[in-house]
Structure 1
Amino acid sequence: MRVVLSLGSNLGRRIDCLQGALDVLFDAPGLTFVAVSPVYETDPVGGPEQGPYLNAVVIAEGMQDPRTLLERAQGVETAFGRRREERWGPRTLDVDLITVDGVVSDDPELTLPHPRAHERAFVLVPWAQIDPDAVLPGHGPVGALLADLDQSGVRLRPDLALEPPG
């Protein structure tokens, strides 16, 4: 199953949090690394005043069901000190499950695709970089979605890069 994950951090050593998350996500069996996007610095969306994020998107192949993948992502967030005190507040690490093999689910515990991915340039810009033909189930081609979004708050950081796990 094709899995798309979004990584973000705006507290602490942001690039180290993203790299650590990437390494830990693929440390256990059941998920195989395919690609990681370039790193982008992005303006925060919603929530309290806070510093900019570093964001990247990861593509993987997985044999686990979406709930297990969500639990894995949340476990990685917790391991990196994520606290869920304030909605859209600052965080050491955010790992979002964007889509899993085209599955559409409106389960209250796990909505797929991610319910706001189609309106988030900080997800779609990096995703399009590594999969230009990507389609967000229920919304359409990522490139077409990007055409309707303000991308001014998403800036490539060519001085930063994530290494493949391993």
Structure 2
Amino acid sequence: MILVGIGSNLSGKAGSPIETVKESLRAMQTRGMTILTCSDFYDTPPVGPSGQGHYVNAVVRLGSVIGPHGLLRELQTIENQFGRQRSVKWGARTLDLDVLDWHGHLVHGRLNLPHPEISRRGFVLRPLMDVAPEWRHPETGLSVRALWNRLSVTERLKIMKL
């Protein structure tokens, strides 16, 4: 199973963050990716520098013959098409596309899989439960539901379905 996280909190070429997320789904399908399932969209608070607006987040389950590093390159090409700027770590962005998992493989280097923050990010775990409720962390064996339940109630309540 291939899982990709999507986020946006700045308007860009495609319009509002929600329109950017929708357009990014279309862009993925033109670059060798088949969207098998897309989660609901969620309104989530930012992680990182203060002063940012809330994000629109989603997770997609993909079908593709592209390997993990090729997938990362394709996703970064799409981000660039949507005006992604990489100037501030965890800063506001028009589009963020993250490979979360690629068939349960463990990868370390320029690309780290599963995504190193997946276990701590409610904005990933909540939509991940929509598309892959059976998913288990490849290193810990914990289910997505167990990881979600490890988050504080306060953090879970901040993530709202749009």
Displacement, 1:61? 1.5
> Percent identity of the aligned residues?
34
2: CA distance between counterparts of 1:32 and 1:20?
Answer: 14
2:82 aligned residue: 80
Please say if 1:18 is aligned against 2:21. Answer: yes
1: CA distance between counterparts of 2:147 and 2:45?
Answer: 19
| 3-state DSSP of counterpart to 2:157 | coil
1:28 aligned residue: 31
1:49 aligned residue: 51
Task: Find runs of 4+ consecutive structure 1 residues off by over 6 angstroms.
Answer: none
C-alpha contact 2:43 2:57 (8 A) present in aligned 1: yes
1:59 aligned residue: 61
Structure 1: gaps of 5 or more residues: 158-166
- Structure in which a larger fraction of residues adopt helix: 2
C-alpha contact 2:6 2:98 (8 A) present in aligned 1: yes
Corresponding residue pairs, total: 154
C-alpha contact 1:7 1:93 (8 A) present in aligned 2: yes
Displacement, 1:45? 1.0
| 3-state DSSP of counterpart to 1:20 | helix
2: CA distance between counterparts of 1:38 and 1:92?
Answer: 19
Deviates more, 1:44-53 or 1:113-122: 44-53
2:7 aligned residue: 8
Kindly provide the amino acid, as one letter, of the partner of residue 87 in structure 2.
E
Please say if 1:114 is aligned against 2:119. Answer: no
1:160 aligned residue: none
| 3-state DSSP of counterpart to 1:46 | coil
1: CA distance between counterparts of 2:21 and 2:95?
Answer: 7
- Structure in which a larger fraction of residues adopt strand: 1
* Alpha-carbon displacement from aligned partner over 1:125-160 (angstroms, at most 9, x marks no partner): 011022221112113210000011131221111xxx
For normalisation by structure 1, the TM-score amounts to: 0.89
2:95 aligned residue: 93
Deviates more, 1:54-63 or 1:136-145: 136-145
Displacement, 1:59? 0.3
Q: CA RMSD in A?
A: 1.0
Kindly provide the amino acid, as one letter, of the partner of residue 152 in structure 1.
L
